[in-house]
């Protein structure tokens, strides 16, 4: 398996797992993050499942399509940017655990996005 396919596969598996966790454990995550709106995690979870399906499609059948690979990396970059804005501006007054998890996931997604981009260029 080449490096690009490996990073895209990790990305879709992580997105799939995260989406399912957000759907199944949304009540627990609401408490952990200190969120009162019960729709936040299910909505993000559903979107992550859609993203995971898209990344799976690209990894399986469109690996050579430069634009799609760059789009996935750009979407990963937007996730990181959004996470940084949440951490810096603190608009939702999340718990320390919530902020720590957001930061850790942002670092991981940033790494995957960078490695996907870099792997395509190699």
The overall average pLDDT reported for the chain is 96
Domain positions in the chain are 3-121
CB 26 within 8 A of CB 45: yes
Give the ranges where 1-122 is alpha helix by DSSP (H). Answer: 3-24, 26-33, 40-61, 66-89, 96-121
For residue range 3-55, what is the model confidence (pLDDT) as tens digits? 999 999 999 999 999 999 999 999 999 999 999 999 999 999 999 999 999 99
């Amino acid at each position: 398996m080449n490096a690009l396919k490996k990073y895209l596969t990790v990305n879709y598996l992580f997105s799939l797992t995260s989406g399912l966790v957000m759907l199944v454990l949304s009540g627990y995550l609401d408490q952990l993050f200190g969120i009162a709106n019960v729709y936040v995690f299910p909505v993000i979870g559903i979107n992550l499942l859609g993203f995971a399906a898209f990344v799976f499609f690209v990894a399986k059948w469109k690996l050579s399509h430069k634009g799609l690979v760059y789009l996935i990396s750009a979407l990963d970059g937007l996730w990181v940017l959004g996470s940084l804005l949440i951490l810096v501006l603190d608009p939702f007054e999340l718990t320390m655990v919530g902020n720590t998890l957001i930061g850790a996931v942002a670092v991981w997604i940033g790494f995957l996005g960078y490695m996907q981009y870099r792997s395509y260029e190699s």
